[in-house]
Structure 1
Amino acid sequence: MFKNYIKIAFRNIVKNKVHTFINVAGLSVGMAVAMLIGLWIWDELSFDKYHKTYDRVGQIMVTQTANGETGTFGSTVVPLSAELRTKYAGDFKFTSLFWQGTHILAIGDKKITQPGAWAEPDLPEILSLKMLKGSYTGFRDPSSFIISQSVATALFGNADPINKMVKVDNKTNLRVTGVYQDLPHNTSFYETRFMLPFFNKDNWWGTQISAWDNHGCRIYALLTDHADFDKVSARIRNITKPRFKINEETIQVHPMSKWHLYSDFKNGRSVGGRIEMVWLFGIIGVFVLLLACINFMNLSTAQSEKRAKEVGIRKAIGSMRMQLINQFLSESLVFAVLALIVTLCIVLIALPYFNQIADKQIAVPFGNIWFWLMALGFTTFTGIIAGSYPAFYLSSFEPVKVLKGTFRVGRFASMPRKVLVVVQFTVSIILIIGTIIVFRQIQFAKNRPIGYSRAGLLTIEMNTPEIYGHYEAMRNDLIKTGAVEDMAEANSSTNQIWSNNSGFDWEGKTAGYDPTFGTIGVTYDFGRTVGWKVVQGRDFSRNFPTDTDAFIMNESAVKLTGIKNPVGKVLRWNGKSHTVTGVVKDMIMESPYEKPVATIFMMEPGWVNFITIRVKSTTPMQEALKKIEPVFKKYNPGSPFNFKFNDDEYARKFSDEQRVGSLASIFAGLAIFISCLGLFGLASFVAEQRVKEIGVRKVLGASVANLWRLLSTEFVVLVVISLFIAIPLAYYFMQHWLQGYQYRTSISWWIFAFAGTGAITITLITVSFQAIKAALANPVKSLRSE
């Protein structure tokens, strides 16, 4: 019996080629979108599961209230690690301090720059690293370090790296005692290509063993067997409370299982994060697949009259309704299997591009039996969903009416198809509106005034000892090249604030009020180099020797202090008095979606880690780099010339939103494509069903324009109904999404007008081909049988 069902299915496929193409194309595109999103979701849900200790690893998170706002972050103090190990040994099996950075590894003349971390000896075991050579114990020697397989290959080729000496940052000689397997892309430690001993003399953070007021390191911990994260967090919550007088803090252990998907905190509690994106794309995938299934349902039921006699005859010779249902479901499954073959081809072609947009390294796991079981199950489910309505609808025809020729589908028979078309375009329009608003929010933030000039700025990290102590000479040599306008040094790049401090006093300050400021140490020429805008007072100047103890505040810092005329006022900090010489416009150095950080700039030449260079606008960048590199080689021969463009680093701040927008635009386009395929098929069917009516109208004098309007109006009305449903839904969801940003765009009326006009235009273009074709047909041929 099943064999006959398959034969009939293939006969119908061959007989109705256009119908087959539309169904297979629609289903395959919908399934491809669903499969890509499914692979992406699987990658997200499996994040960090590479580590065998996944269920027991946590990060120490700190919650503080500063400047009236409560925030939770992962930067904590060095002595806390040892205190947790000793005082709470029953809860913590291991703890490890961690400080990530970029370092230069050298063997002789071979030098490579790689991201790595200073860490305590237990981190490899906390992360259950897979050691290919050596063991965890080798890392306990403070003169040793462990490297990943890719770093071992880059440095030593095929030679055995164990016990070989490597110079780090041209100052620290360490022996390789272990090689671990490269960590996969979907782990939090993917960028950790090697681990250095935390308490090495050349790691500044290792000297902060008693500094309870200097937050900057992370702490990772492995809890003991059967330890409960919530109970452990409750026990250690106030462990640092005795150390703080004003801005008290609480700490907790955030499980590794929540790092990636639940990284957002509110009032010290995890409230979500990327899990919202997982739900968003999951819902999009379901709806895009639903659109494809709707196409199948619509076209199958639209051809009901063609299949009516077949159903009538089969019922008359004894077929049971369930047999007919099985037949139609079998046909649907055949379409689904054909679509699966096309789907796999589409996924293989699209996956590299998808990975690039999504910043993933996803591969189709053809060798995994679970993938095939899920793919076949997914295909069967799609086939059943797509074929369920046609199967039950077609099998319900009464054989007597069909065979007498009195069967009519009825005036309301097309109502389910119209409802499904409305659903299709409602989903598509919501996706279009959502995509526009996402990109509008990105552009709104990109156009935000940032308080300085990014164009032509280069940032170079100072990661070797030779680069220090040559500021004036290096600056003069760079300016002499003719390509450089100015140069400065600071302890933060222009796209980050690495230091925050409290403890500032000033005249009129309220008792008990201790706000936190971003603190940036700079050299004299920082303001001229970055092009900040002085709104009160003056910039730092070599003409004023007292500027070595001067402060420059940004506008947000002035508001935070409440000082009305800050220029000339004195702020006391760390036992010293500092005169405010100027006020600058707020510089957006952190998130472009958040309010500016209250920041104080100070003259601290000994507290710098970054060089910022402004290239002259009249000099081509490639030419400028050729002139700049020899100067750096002169003063820093032990380091490769590694630099970053300020524009590129600033653009990375938009990467998550850009990713969401790009993927949403692709999915919206595919949703429209699938919907238009369905419309094209339905328009073709309607034109075929009304061919005699069209012929009569043409004979009676109807013009092509009149007939085009007659056939197009029905579909335009359906799209207009979709607009009335989609617009309020899109407004509600996108307004909620925008609330997550302090600096956000507004939702303008033209977005909905544009989406509506676009949807109607696309509908008219899709339908017009069939409508005009039917209107131009010769009425003699359509009426000949009469």
Structure 2
Amino acid sequence: MIKNYLKIAWRNLMKNKAYSTINIGGLALGMAVTLMIGLWVYDELSHNNYFEKKDRIAQIFQSQTFNGNIGTGPAIPRPLEMALREGYDDNFKHIVMSSWTTPLYLNYKEKSLSKDGNYMQQGAPDMLGLTILKGEKDGLRKINSIMLSKSVSEALFEDEEPIGKVVKVNSQFDAEVTAVYEDIPVNNSFNDLQFIIPWEKYLTLYEWIKNAEDQWGNNSFQLFVEIPENSSIEQVTSTIKDVKKESSGDEAEFNPQLFLLPMKDWYLRNSFQNGVQVGGRIKYVWLFGIIGTFVLLLACINFMNLSTARSEKRAKEVGIRKSIGSQRKQIINQFLSESFLVTLFAYVLAVVMVLLFLNAFNDLSRKEISFPWQNITFWLISLVFIIFTSLLAGSYPALYLSSFRPVNVLKGTFTAGKYAGLPRKILVVLQFTVSVAFIIGTVIVMQQINFAKNRPVGYDTKGLVQIPVMSRDFEGKYDLMRTEFINSGAVVEMSASSAPTTSIWSNRGGFTWDGKPDSFQEDLAWTEVTPEYAKSLNLKIIKGRDFSRELASDSNAVLINETAMKYMGLTDPVGTFIRDEDEEDPFPPKKIIGVVQDMIAQSPYEPVKQGVYGFDKYGNNSFYNLRLNPNQSASDNIAAIENVFTSHFPDIPFQYDFVDTEYGEKFAAEERIGTLSAVFTALAILISCLGLFGLTSYVAEQRKKEIGVRKVLGASVFNVWNMLSKDFLKLVVISCFIAIPIAYYVMNGWLQDYPYRVLLEWWIFLLAVIGAMAITILTVSFQAIRAANANPIKSLRTE
């Protein structure tokens, strides 16, 4: 029986090739989009699957209140470690202090590499479950040791045995390679953990880290933990949440609340607003999951519409089958078999499409997704997906077509009925409601990105280059390098700073100044800079003056930005002194000598943070900021800079970043989402147009005699076009009225995540309506004009 159903289904497909092509092509396109989105969603949801203990590994976060606003982040003070070990050790299997991931120079013989890694405590490899390929798992027990990833080991030593080899790190110390571990895959946290150095070594390198042992206000570190199997994240959080508040003395005024953020949430749910976890990238997973579902639904609607539209051609077939004894159940099975065959063909074609465009999709989304050929679960899901889609697409046509009464059909008195076309009209409205909503959403996403891009940055990013200088080799050489770079003719000005221009690395509080309210809790972004900083960035001085090398007093001077002036309540800040409230700290009073224009150093979607720029008198710089010579090409400038750099630092790799490129990376995630949304919207519209094209073809075929009569009686091409087009345009207009409020509600909610955001303006919605109507007219017009130009003699000729 099943064989017979499939045979008849095949004959019907071959008999109506145009209909079959539209049906299979539209469905395949929808399934390809859904498959692609499904692979993307799976990749997102499988983040950190490499770590078997991801449900029990967590990072300590803290929330603190400043002037009624709650800020949340992973930076914690060093004393917290001992407080947890001494009073709450039973709640943890591992407690691991860590530095932030930072690039260091690794030298072996003639080779020098810049690689990212961390200083971590001894339990890190076991906690993370690293796969040790060579050496010992407890490779951090020696203070002068280093564990390397496989790729770094091969790059440094090639075919040599790495264990026992000595690597020079940042020109500061020698470290013995004690272990080589498997590279952590890209789709995981710590995928940039290319080396691990003992935490104890970190403590010996920098005086400020030693001094931070009892500084509860110095939130400069990370702390990772693993909880026991018989415990829970919520239970441990409730136990430790007030540890800092109860132990830190003066820090209690900020009401610090500790909590554990599990590894499974680091990637998808790491966003907080006013102390509340509000999601993160999970919103994009939901967004694309919904898009994939709706795109598949659009393709299924096409199938339903075209199947029911051909009902009159299939009516006699149903009538004859019923008259010779076929049950309704058998006819339903016949139509579902046709649906299954179409879906199967469409799925095969969809897989081919995915394979053809997967590399382009990976480039667009910055993923490394591969097709899961050997994944049995994938193929089981695919089978369920095919069956579900065939039932979804074929159920309504099967139930509708099997309901025809054989007597009326065979007597020739069968008519589709007054409301027979209503379901098709509803489905067309649904299709274009989704399409119009997609158009509006994509336009708003793109507009939000451009809105932030066009926001004044506050300094000149073009022609500005950053060079990282986080090695002892650079100490005391700033003035020499500045002179050398400028003399090369490639640089017109240079400065140094303790943080990149595109980030804030340090926040400080505990200051007082004249006029400060007693209850005010300050939080200032702090950056150490050389006197040429404003000049090298073309940063405008709003009030007062810039730093001067000629004035010795400027070593205890600061510049503040416009936001800081308002934040501190100062109308005339020049001359005001900032003092440290801690009398035991040898921090001298700092005199405000000028106010600089606000510059965006964090997210371009966030307000500019109140910032202070201190005079760097100790050489605590991490980056050189070079303003290139605008009269030479960038390539010539970089070549000259590289020559100067390598002549002074031959053992250090030359690295640089254009600041405008680095700043552009801040839009990368949103741009990828916007581009993907635009692609999927275009495909959704294409699928809708395929269905509309098929329906128009059917209507034109159904009414060809009527069109012939009208033409004989003098109807023009425009009259015929108008007759065939107006019904579809009415449906699209209805779709627009439904889509607009839905899109407004959804996108307005999406924009609330951005403090600096675009306004929803009426022209966006009007543009979507005009676009939808234009697409409809173009789609319908082809068939309408073709029908209008057909020879009426042929259409009126009797059989």
TM-score by length of 2: 0.97
**What secondary structure sits across from 1:216 in the alignment?**
strand
Measure how far apart 1:517 and its partner are.
0.3
Spell out the pairing of 1:559-598 with structure 2 (5 A cutoff). 559-573=566-580, 574=585, 575-598=587-610
Residue 536 of structure 2: aligned partner: 529
The Cα shift of 1:301 comes to: 0.4
1:706: which partner in 2? Answer: 719
2:739 pairs with 1:732? no
Give the superposition deviation at 1:148: 1.2
Distance 2:721 2:276 in 1: 60
Counterpart-to-counterpart distance in 2, 1:748 and 1:632 = 51
Q: 1:85, 1:94 within 8 Å by CA — same for their partners in 2?
A: no
C-alpha displacement at 1:497, in angstroms? 0.9
Q: Of 223, 243, 247, which aligns to 2:248? A: 243
- Return the letter of the residue paired with 1:632: F
In 2, Cα distance between the equivalents of 1:244 and 1:500?
A: 19
- Offset of 1:625 from its aligned partner? 0.4
1:282 aligns with 2:274: no
Matched, 1:379 2:386: yes
CA distance in structure 1 between the aligned counterparts of 2:350 and 2:314, rounded to whole angstroms: 28
One-letter code of the match for 1:777? A
Q: Deviations over 1:333-368 (max 9, x none)?
A: 001110111111111112112122222211111011
Moved more, 295-304 or 165-174: 165-174
How many Å apart are 1:33 and its aligned residue? Answer: 1.0
Match of 2:266 in 1: 259
Gaps of 5+ in 2: none
* SS of match in other structure, 1:536: strand
1:764 and 2:777 correspond: yes
1:450 and 2:457 aligned:
yes
Kept in 2, the 8 Å contact 1:58–1:255? The answer is yes
Structure 1 position 680 matched with structure 2 position 693: yes
Q: 1:612 maps to which residue?
A: 625
Shift of 1:247: 2.5
Alpha carbons 1:78, 1:205 under 8 Å: kept: no
Q: Does the 8 Å CA contact 1:132/1:180 hold for their aligned counterparts?
A: yes
Structure 1 stretch 491-500 or stretch 354-363: which is displaced more?
A: 354-363
Aligned to 2:40: 40
Alignment partner for residue 202 of structure 1, among 194, 202, 205? 205
Partner of 1:474: 481
Contact kept in structure 1, 2:555 and 2:617, CA below 8 Å: no
Instruction: Report the more deviating stretch, 579-588 or 257-266.
Output: 257-266
Paired position in structure 2 for 1:166: 167
Equivalent residue, structure 1, for 2:441:
434
Q: Which amino acid aligns with 2:248?
A: R
TM superposition shift of 1:244: 4.1
How far did residue 205 of structure 1 move?
7.0
**Counterpart amino acid of residue 235 in structure 1:** T
SS of structure 2 residue aligned to 1:692: helix
- The change in CA–CA distance for 1:205 and 1:50 in structure 2 (over 3 A counts) is farther
Task: State whether structure 2 residue 106 is matched by structure 1 residue 105.
Answer: yes
Q: How far apart, in 1, do the equivalents of 2:109 and 2:489 lie?
A: 34
Letter in 1 for 2:11: R
Q: 3-state DSSP class of the match of 1:741? A: coil
1:352 aligned onto 2:352: no
Taking only the aligned residue pairs, the percentage that are identical comes to 47
Contact 1:170–1:638 (Cα < 8 Å) also in 2: no
Paired residue type of 1:214 = N
Deviations 1:32-81 (A, max 9, x none): 11111111111121211211111211100011112432011001122322
In structure 2, distance between residues paired with 1:169 and 1:352: 38
Q: Take 1:348 and 1:218, find their aligned partners in 2: how far apart are those partners?
A: 42
1:393-404 matched pairs, under 5 angstroms: 393-404=400-411
- 1:305-324 alignment to 2 at 5 Å? 305-324=312-331
1:116 paired residue number: 117
Structure 2 matches for 1:486-565, cutoff 5 A?
486-565=493-572
Query: Residue 576 of structure 1: CA displacement?
Result: 1.5
Amino acid at match of 1:765: L
Query: For this pair of structures, how many residues does the alignment match?
Result: 786
- Which shifted more, 71-80 or 298-307? 71-80
Provide the C-alpha distance between the structure 1 equivalents of 2:206 and 2:156, rounded to a whole number of angstroms: 22
- Aligned partners of 1:222, 1:291: CA distance in 2, in Å? 46
* Stretch moving more, 148-157 or 16-25: 148-157
Distance in 2 of aligned mates of 1:428 and 1:549: 61
Amino acid at match of 1:510: P
Q: Is the 8 A contact 2:428 2:731 kept in 1?
A: yes
Moved more, 204-213 or 140-149: 204-213
Counterpart position of 1:389? 396
CA deviation digits over 1:415-473, x for unaligned, max 9?
A: 11111011001101111110110010000001111111101111111122111211112
Distance 1:253 1:116, change over 3 A: same
Q: What is the DSSP-based 3-state SS (H/G/I as helix, E as strand, rest coil) of the residue aligned with 1:728?
A: helix
Asked whether the 8 Å contact 2:125–2:138 carries over to 1, the reply is: no
Q: What is the CA distance between 1:203 and its match in structure 2? A: 5.8
TM-score normalized by the length of structure 1: 0.98
Aligned CA-pair RMSD: 1.3
Q: How far apart are 1:548 and its partner, in Å?
A: 0.9
What is the rounded CA distance, in whole Å, between the counterparts of 2:706 and 2:488 in structure 1? Answer: 82
**Residues 253 and 598 of structure 1, relative CA distance in 2, 3 Å threshold:** same
Give the match's secondary structure for 1:106: strand
Provide the rounded CA distance (Å) in 2 between the counterparts of 1:113 and 1:17: 60
SS, match of residue 240 in structure 1: helix
Residue equivalent to 2:134: 133
In the TM superposition, what is the alpha-carbon distance from 1:160 to its structure 2 partner?
Answer: 2.4
Moved more, 494-503 or 221-230: 221-230
* Counterpart-to-counterpart distance in 2, 1:638 and 1:170: 9
SS at match of 2:542: strand
Q: Deviations over 1:165-213 (max 9, x none)?
A: 1112122211111111111112111111111112213366753333322
Partner of 1:413: 420
Distance in 1 separating the partners of 2:771 and 2:278? 37
- Quote the Cα distance in structure 1 between the aligned partners of 2:279 and 2:157: 43
User: 1-side partners of 2:654 and 2:213: how far apart?
Assistant: 33
2:176 alignment counterpart: 175
- Shift in Å, 1:722: 0.5
The one-letter amino acid paired with 2:562 is: E
Maintained 8 Å contact 1:428/1:672:
yes
Specify the alignment match of 2:765 in structure 1.
752
Aligned to 1:718: 731
Partner of residue 18, structure 2: 18
The separation in 1 between residues aligned to 2:502 and 2:744, in whole angstroms, is 33
Q: Which amino acid aligns with 1:183?
A: I
Shift of 1:669: 0.3
Q: CA deviation at 1:225?
A: 2.2
- Unaligned regions of 5+ residues in structure 1, if any? none
Q: C-alpha separation between the residues in 2 aligned to 1:268 and 1:739? A: 16
- Measure the CA separation in 1 of the matches of 2:207 and 2:711: 89
Give yes or no for contact 2:436–2:769 (8 Å, CA) kept in 1.
yes
Task: Give the AA of the match of 1:604.
Answer: D
CA distance in 1, matches of 2:780, 2:168: 70
8 Å CA contact 1:170–1:639 kept in 2: the answer is: no
Instruction: State yes or no: 1:62 paired with 2:62.
Output: yes
- In structure 1, what residue type is equivalent to 2:506? S
TM-fit CA distance, 1:493: 0.8
Q: Which amino acid aligns with 1:477?
A: E
Aligned residue in 2 for 1:693: 706
